[in-house]
A and B are shown apart, each in its own frame.
Chain A
Amino acid sequence: GAGVSQSPSNKVTEKGKDVELRCDPISGHTALYWYRQSLGQGLEFLIYFQGNSAPDKSGLPSDRFSAERTGGSVSTLTIQRTQQEDSAVYLCASSSRTGDNYGYTFGSGTRLTVV
């Protein structure tokens, strides 16, 4: 696609429910990243996928968070048993190369509200 697409744009869920957030990166981009942006905070790195390599999960805040990337393209971030502190904007980005730091292209984000 022309840009990074994220869905849904907004999600309201009850505490304790599971949610899935979707990211469709730019076609041909081999690297995909998930970040979390909480109110008044910077961007917190969550997870990074590069091609067929094992993902870098070092930023996932707890084992309730997981992500997968199917076929080297679409990625799904899953949050199980959501808590109120999970409320944030979840941003996905993709990049055409790694190691050269070409910069990211971001999606518009999914605003998650846990009530």
Chain B
Amino acid sequence: AQSVTQLGSHVSVSEGALVLLRCNYSSSVPPYLFWYVQYPNQGLQLLLKYTSAATLVKGINGFEAEFKKSETSFHLTKPSAHMSDAAEYFCAVGTTGGGNKLTFGTGTQLKVEL
């Protein structure tokens, strides 16, 4: 079985500040990990993914995430927030042999303030 926990359903940052969205996973086998972003009234868009290559993964729009096996974490960061980053972010976990069925976290709503 696999699961994902996103700490903080709402995160607020100032424009230009560091963005840190937390994700911890549980998996009995080596996981594949993803971050998706959802803008209002839209579907989810893939930001980045970890598939057992480099532990530091760079994605679109300046986001990156680091896989830390010892901490079972895959936190999403961006050095400087922009107003356009305001959206809901979902972490997801999948495993080999799982038919590519992903388990999603409950999401974190990011608010960016002037």
Q: How many residues of chain A have a CB within 8 Å of chain B?
A: 29
Chain A residue with minimal CB distance to B49? Answer: A103
Interface size of B as a range: 20 to 34
Q: Which B51-95 residues sit within 8 Å CB-CB of chain A?
A: 51, 90, 92, 94-95
Question: Which one of A12-20, A65-73, A77-85, A94-102 is at the B interface?
Answer: A94-102
Instruction: Tell whether, in the assembled complex, residue A101 and residue B43 are in contact, meaning their CB atoms are under 8 Å apart.
Output: no
Chain A residues with CB below 8 A from B95, complex form: 101
- Interface residue? B28 (CB, 8 A): no
Contact B34 A33 (CB under 8 A): no
Could you jot down 27 A-B contacts, CB within 8 Å? Answer: A4-B43, A6-B43, A42-B90, A42-B104, A43-B90, A45-B101, A45-B102, A56-B99, A56-B101, A93-B43, A93-B44, A99-B96, A99-B99, A100-B100, A101-B32, A101-B34, A101-B49, A101-B51, A101-B96, A102-B100, A103-B34, A105-B46, A106-B43, A106-B44, A107-B43, A108-B41, A108-B42
